[in-house]
A and B are shown apart, each in its own frame.
Chain A
């Protein structure tokens, strides 16, 4: 199982973004190195299919995120998004659009209040996601897949 560690402030930034855009989905890039997320980069949700249930990052914003990560000597590790009034589990649509080796963090936001946060990686054969072990360095708490971060 792969592991993803969130440095201080990262989980809070993702939750805050999810609350701000509620009832729409938020999205953003996660940046860091060697499985440690040091920074987030909030991006506009440019979906044309209804932001309450979908998000989309444009190719231009993707390039910007990749460039920004490289300029800071880091890597683009993946993306986060929120599931308004829905569990922090990936949908079939998430699976169909996933890229390999990226971490996909999902935060559930219920009634405007951020709740569970999980992270996922696409299996090599694209058949499903594997849940990652998500560690929040901020509070030194550790969440196993059976008990997502609160």
Chain B
């Protein structure tokens, strides 16, 4: 059974405007890797140059922030859902 990743508005142009995408893997990291391998152009917006998730990219596993789980090593079960949710931030300097 595949897993579903919910895609936020600014990343939907990379997923043919789909609000959710089906992926497979056994950890959060594998699901994200499957997503970025299927949809060209997503990776640079999710990951920094050092390969780590950007700090304003929030990933939830069934509504739990993966930072409070085992981050990308968090195991997933069939049917679990991931959500990518932006932290929007900025400022004058």
Chain A residues with CB under 8 Å of chain B are 25, 27, 47, 49, 53-59, 62-63, 66, 69, 75-76, 79, 81, 83-84, 86, 90-94, 97-102, 104, 124-126
Contacts and interface: CB of A to CB of B under 8 A. Distances in A.
Interface in B1-42: 8-11, 13, 41
Interface string B70-93: 000000000000000111111111
10 contacts: A54-B89, A56-B87, A57-B87, A59-B85, A81-B90, A92-B93, A93-B89, A93-B91, A99-B45, A100-B10
B8 A54 contact: no
A72 B91 CA distance: 29
Interface residues of B, number: 20
Contacts of B10: 99-102
Interface of B: 8-11, 13, 41, 44-45, 56, 58, 60, 85-93
A93 B44 CA distance: 17
Nearest to B90: A94
Given A62-B87, A91-B90, 18 more contacts: A27-B90, A53-B91, A55-B90, A55-B91, A57-B88, A58-B87, A76-B9, A79-B88, A91-B91, A91-B93, A94-B91, A97-B90, A98-B90, A99-B10, A99-B45, A101-B9, A101-B10, A126-B44
A102 to B, nearest CB: 5
A126 B45 contact: yes
Closest 7 A/B residue pairs (Cβ): A54-B91, A86-B92, A99-B10, A94-B90, A57-B88, A83-B92, A59-B85
